[in-house]
Chain A
Amino acid sequence: MNESQKAFLDGVRAEIPLLIGVFPFGMIYGALALNAGLSVFASQMMSSIVFAGSAQFITAQLVQDSAPGFVIILTIAVVNLRHMLYSASLAPYLKHLSTKWKFLLSYLLTDEAYAPTALHYEEKGVTSNGHWFLLGAGISLWTIWQVSTALGIFLGARIPEELPLDFALPLTFIAMLVPILKKRPMIAAALSAGTTALLAYSLPFKLGLILAALVGIIVGTVLERRIFPKGML
Chain B
Amino acid sequence: MLIGGLITFGLRFSLIYLFGRFEVPETMRRALHYVPPAVLSAIIVPELLIRDGSVSLSLENIRLLAGIIAIITAWVSRNTLLTILTGMAALLIIGWL
User: Can you list, as one digit per residue, whether each of A80-106 has a CB less than 8 Å from chain B (1) or not (0)?
Assistant: 111111111111101101010011011
Size of the chain B interface, CB-CB below 8 angstroms: 63
Whole-angstrom distance between the Cβ of A20 and the nearest chain B Cβ: 8
Whole-angstrom distance between the Cβ of A106 and the nearest chain B Cβ: 4
Instruction: Judge whether B74 and A178 touch: CB under 8 Å.
Output: yes
Give the nearest-CB partner of B35 in chain A.
A89
Instruction: Judge whether A42 and B1 touch: CB under 8 Å.
Output: yes
A197 to B11, CA, bound (A): 22
Binding site for B on A (CB under 8 A): 17, 20, 42, 45-46, 49-52, 55, 59, 72-73, 76-77, 80-92, 94-95, 97, 99, 102-103, 105-107, 109, 111, 114-115, 118-119, 122, 162, 164, 167-181, 185-186, 189-198, 201, 208-209, 212-221, 224, 231, 233
10 closest A-B pairs (Cβ-Cβ)? A216-B38, A91-B19, A220-B34, A194-B45, A49-B5, A212-B42, A178-B74, A106-B13, A175-B83, A87-B15
Known contacts A20-B84, A179-B74, then 8 further A-B pairs from the complex at CB < 8 Å, ordered by chain A residue: A50-B5, A90-B16, A91-B24, A102-B13, A198-B45, A201-B46, A201-B55, A213-B42
